[in-house]
């Protein structure tokens, strides 16, 4: 009689790993892919990347009467207004002023495409010349503090080759 009980226990003990393996494999069927490159999407600490900041309209762009006003995308990067000049090329001049009822941003930076022009001249309360890299990826140029004050009416941007 004891042999029968021991034999049943051995059979049950032998079947236990098979049952565990089957249940684990059945639990993995809900996964889309069993590739390690896709596992990160199922980790509890994985977060989706943040959406890009929505465009805003904080500055009015003015150009000479015979020129076409470029579309400059403006976004906030914390408390810094980022103005995309990556669509500009060659030489030109434009003026920026705050939208009526708004003031100047605390900080401002300009996104430029290397090689599209050589330098960016900014004129407000002060005059600053920023060099644009000749090669590489998109660059961000910071407008220095003191370039404009709350009483500044407009900021003039001149882009192109250095003045002789």
Cβ atoms of 108 and 85 within 8 Å: the answer is no
| DSSP at 68 | P
| DSSP at 151 | T
Output the pLDDT for position 42.
Answer: 60
- 104-161 pLDDT, tens digit per residue, is 999 999 999 999 999 999 999 999 999 999 999 999 999 999 999 999 999 999 999 9
Say how many Å lie between the first and final Cα of the chain, rounded. 109
Output the pLDDT for position 51.
Answer: 82
Cβ atoms of 60 and 130 within 8 Å: the answer is no
| CA angle 98–101–105, rounded 5-degree value | 40
Residues with Cβ within 8 Å of residue 35, at least 6 apart in sequence = none
């Amino acid at each position: 009689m004891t042999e029968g009980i021991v034999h049943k226990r051995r059979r049950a003990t032998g079947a236990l790993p098979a049952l565990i393996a089957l249940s684990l494999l059945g639990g993995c069927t809900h996964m889309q892919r069993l590739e390690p490159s896709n596992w990160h999407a199922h980790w509890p600490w994985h977060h989706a990347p943040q959406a890009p900041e929505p465009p805003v309209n904080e500055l009015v762009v003015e150009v000479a009467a015979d020129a076409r006003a470029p579309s400059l995308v403006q976004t906030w990067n914390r408390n810094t207004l980022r103005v995309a000049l990556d669509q500009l090329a060659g030489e030109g001049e434009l003026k920026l002023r705050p939208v009526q009822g708004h003031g100047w941003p605390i900080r401002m930076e300009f996104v430029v495409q290397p090689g599209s022009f050589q330098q960016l001249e900014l004129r407000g309360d002060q005059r600053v010349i920023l060099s644009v890299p000749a090669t590489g990826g998109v660059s961000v140029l910071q407008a220095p503090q003191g370039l404009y004050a709350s009483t500044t009416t407009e900021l003039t941007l001149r882009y192109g080759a250095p003045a002789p």
